[in-house]
Structure formats: C-alpha cells, structure tokens
Chain A
C-alpha cells in the first residue's frame, strides 16, 4: 500500500501532467464541475428547488468552460504560441531550430522525461503506422545524441514558450471568453432541463388569481 502511494507520488507521468498547463487546467475544471454543484446540493440553508437550479447552472457553466477551453483555446494558443516564439521572439535559436512544430517538441520532451535510456531507444526504433517511417527519422542528429545521454537537454525556452502561451490562452479563455459563451448557452439549456420557465408574466398572473381564490 505504502509502496503504491510512493509510486504514485513520484510518477514521472503524473509529474508531466502537473507541469502541463492544458492538462492540469482541464483536470481542475472537471473537478470544479463536480465540487461546486456538490457543495450547493449539500447546503441546508437553501430550499431544494433553488439548490437544484443553482447546482445545474454551476455545472453547465463549468462544462461550457471546459468545452470552450478544449475546442478553441488549446489548439489555437498551443500552436500559435510556438509559431510566434519560434519565428518572432527567438528567431530559430535557443532550441527552436530543432523542431518544426509544437507536436514534435512535445514528443521529444516526453522521451527526454523518460529516465530509462533503453526505453527511449526502443521508442525511437518503432514505426509510425501512418507513414511507415521510424520515429527516429523525425529527429535530427543533435536530438538523437541528446536522447542517448542520461540527462538529455530539455530545451527550457521551448517548453516555457509553449506553457506561457497556454497560460495566456487559459486566462483569456476561462476568465473572459467562457463566461460570455456560457451566458448565451446556459439559459436555453436550463429551459430544456425544465429548471427555468420561458415567460415570467403568465406565472405571475396565475399566482395572483390563486391568491384571490
């Protein structure tokens, strides 16, 4: 049991998720979509109808945030940020010259994070199904030499540029864009779920009639 916990806490895969902005934000938003409605539902100070409405609204808000984030922000900022940094800011220096796009760098980084040199070499010898080329054909001599070292170069500037653009994208997407999108989407969704009525006027009229009766 203690061994399993220790293995989890020192897992290199989990460390790479923790260091990856997009993955950690997606996990955190998913947890928010569970935690916040959950706490609303266990609040004893609110009546059950209001609780249901508020919990559904909060869940839909977080779900919209996640959808907007995954669909728009991740691809646009990840690719755009790398391209901008490579061409304008770093002008193909500080490691950017070795990689064509962000996908190529992230693949290299994953291999470099693997502590076993044997495992790295085995992955490099594998075939890419789509092109029938070997994985190592994608990398230049410098990168292949680095992957043979015990502590290969991880190109901090490249990783930092990708993460910085992801942070900017996450902030813009989750704090500015998602609330606007959710504002348009949430109320029709609540009406479909039967938690919100279309017109308030007829409801007021019936209430008045009943009070008199």
Chain B
C-alpha cells in the first residue's frame, strides 16, 4: 500500500506543479544509464570503440542533467524578480522555466559538450578510434604526402587491359609531363 501512497502523492505534486525540468532530467538520467549499457552490450563492435562511445554518451548526459536544472531554475527565479503580481509571476515562472529548458537543449548542452567532452576524454587517455589509427599509422614521407590525392571512391570496373585515366589523377599537374596523358 505504501507504493500506492507514494504514487498518489507524486500525482498530486505533479498535478499542482509539473515543472518542465522534471521530465527532461528524468529522460537524461535514464539515457545516461541505458545508452552506455546498450553500447557495451553490442557484441559486433570492438572493445576500444565500445568503451570510447559509451563514456562519451554517459558524459553527454552527465553534462545535460545539471544544465537542464540550472537553466530552468535560473530562468524561473528571474520571473519572481521581474513580476511583482503573484498570479503573473507564477505563470511567468513556468513559461521562463520552459524557455530555459529549450535554451539548454538548443544551445547550452551542445555547446558545453563540444567544449568539454574532448578535453575530458583526452585527460582520461581515451582517444577516438579513428584518431588512434591515424596516430599509429607509419609516417609517410612529406614529398609523397604532398603529391598523393586519394583515389575516387567508386572507380569504373576494369573491362580492358588499358590503364584508365583515373589511375593517373594522383600525378602532379604541374611541370614537365612525359607521355600523352
């Protein structure tokens, strides 16, 4: 019966004042637990990639929870200062809180994530799997690096023995060219 009482009390509180921060914080909390768990359960992905992705997803939600709360509450507090009339202040508090949550979703959280996540991951010694591959690959001599351009992604099938024009696109296009190509 205790559980039923808790639900009834929660219903009353939500019915009187359902702050816009409640649902977004609840979603972020469950996402912060479930998304990394699902990522770690993926058997197809390699363990390093899984670890990196799971931590990144977890960190995003760890940033999102306080950001939603802070933006919502700060905007709500502003309403109490601006509006003296109680009824207007009450409505403005709800509206500004909602606006604060929207601003958090649109600007604050993506901005904080793009600024904070990479340095945190670097400090933890975790690099993106692609970055690791690049840093571990043998150094290519500078001369080759300058002249090499990647091949077209979808070359035409080789139907005869003659070389194709595309095979020579990586040649430097300046200076003396020997041959007709």
Chain A interfacial positions (CB closer than 8 Å to B):
8-12, 14-15, 17-21, 24-25, 27-28, 31-32, 34-36, 38-40, 43, 45, 85, 89-90, 154-161, 163-164, 166-167, 170-171, 174-176, 179-180, 197, 203, 206-207, 209-210, 213
CA distance in complex: A43, B118 (Å)? 12
Q: Which residues of B contact A (CB under 8 A)?
A: 4, 7-8, 10-16, 18, 20, 22-24, 26-27, 30-31, 34-35, 38, 79, 83, 88, 91-92, 94-98, 101-102, 105-107, 109-111, 113-114, 118, 150-151, 153, 155, 167, 170
CB nearest to B97 among chain A residues? A18
Residues A210 and B170 in contact, CB atoms below 8 Å apart: yes
By the criterion CB–CB under 8 Å, are A15 and B91 in contact? yes
Question: Known interface pairs A9-B92, A11-B91, A43-B114. Does A157 touch B11 (Cβ–Cβ under 8 Å)?
Answer: yes
Task: Please state if B11 and A164 are interface contacts (CB–CB under 8 Å).
Answer: yes
Please give the distance in Å from A134's CB to the nearest CB on chain B.
28
Instruction: Tell me if A155 and B15 are in contact (CB < 8 A).
Output: yes
Measured CB to CB, the nearest residue on chain A to B57 is: A179
Would A164 and B12 be within 8 Å (CB), given that A18-B97, A24-B23, A210-B170 are in contact? no
Q: Which of A10, A38, A45, A90 has the most CB of B within 10 A?
A: A10
Would you give the shortest CB distance from A199 to chain B, in whole angstroms?
11
How many residue pairs bridge A and B at CB < 8 Å?
141
Q: For B153, give its contact among A19, A161, A203 (CB under 8 Å).
A: A203
Given contacts A18-B94, A176-B34, A213-B170, contact A157 B110 (CB under 8 A): no
CB distance from B168 to the nearest CB of A (A): 9
> Smallest CB–CB gap between B139 and chain A, Å?
15
Does more than half of chain A's interface fall in helix, strand or loop, or is it mixed?
Answer: helix
**Are B27 and A24 interface neighbours, CB within 8 A?**
no
* Set of chain B residues within 8 Å of A157, measured between Cβ atoms: 8, 11-12, 15
Specify which chain B residues have a CB less than 8 angstroms from the CB of A175 in the assembled complex: 27, 30-31, 34-35
